[in-house]
Copies of this chain bind each other. A is one copy, B any other.
């Protein structure tokens, strides 16, 4: 079961981190950008950078999160780069989280599920292990993803409490039953996952819970005992290790923390080779997290 495998890899590596490949062309060292003059060239440069990242990170982090917006900005060539990046990461043993926040009515959600988690008559379209989704449309926009998860041992993360400054505008409003909108969405995620739990007690339906809101994270960690958290917000967005402690259970399980720019752009602060700088940043992050979480164990 996908979350069991991910958890075992987190324990093995003692590192609940995923590296975010939100690779903007502008993040690349100048010499890698030189001569790029169209989408195709940009996509090739980004792929080469991503492969360098994956090579240097694959024995340090258990997973990568690939943010598809950065690839869509390069059109069809960018999507080809997304596909090749995901495939290369898998080849190197990394779990691949496609961060795409997809959402639609049932018939269309089925197509997104096929695209990211499925295998159609012509193979895998956008090969991922895990996918972020948005639950604003309710059950029938989520269940097609869950079907694909059950068939092919995949998982999803539902946006519950996002890391951005304005996330509270809707998510922190109180409903008449006393719950906040984010608690309600969390409850839905917990319910959608029912009956799919693996041996560590987490279902196939995870949740996105921003490290930037430790109070909300604390409420959610307690409220959603079977829901594994994908935790954005560490680093560039302002959350530190102490703040994200609330996203984890005792034993350091229950979540994986993303870091994108802090790893991708580490060479800009540290100097030297981009891949070596990224590896050093990822090792520092592991030390930082483990200093707070202690030894990770089941």
> Chain A residues in contact with chain B, CB under 8 A?
22, 24, 37-39, 42, 67, 69-70, 72-80, 82-83, 101-106, 108-109, 111-112, 114-116, 120, 122-123, 125-126, 134-141, 159, 162-171, 173-177, 181, 184-185, 188, 232, 237
Contacts and interface: CB of A to CB of B under 8 A. Distances in A.
Contacts of A177: 173
A115 B135 CA distance: 23
B164 A137 contact: yes
A103 B159 CA distance: 10
**Complex copy number for this chain:** 2
Given A122-B38, A125-B39, A104 B170 contact: no
Contacts of A109: 69
Contacts of A76: 76-77, 79-80, 82-83
Contacts of A82: 76
Contacts of A125: 39, 72-75, 78
A137 B108 contact: no
Given A105-B164, A170-B184, 18 more contacts: A24-B111, A69-B108, A69-B111, A72-B126, A73-B111, A73-B112, A76-B82, A103-B159, A105-B163, A105-B232, A106-B164, A134-B134, A137-B164, A137-B166, A140-B164, A141-B166, A170-B188, A174-B175
Contacts of A164: 105-106, 137-138, 140-141
Contacts of A70: 108, 111
B101 A104 contact: yes
A76 B24 CA distance: 18
Contact of A185 (B163, B168, B170, B174): B170
A59 to B, nearest CB: 28
30 contacts: A38-B122, A39-B122, A39-B123, A39-B125, A67-B104, A72-B79, A72-B116, A72-B125, A73-B111, A73-B112, A73-B115, A74-B122, A75-B79, A76-B80, A78-B125, A79-B79, A103-B103, A105-B162, A105-B232, A106-B164, A136-B170, A136-B171, A137-B166, A138-B167, A138-B171, A139-B169, A140-B164, A141-B164, A169-B188, A170-B184
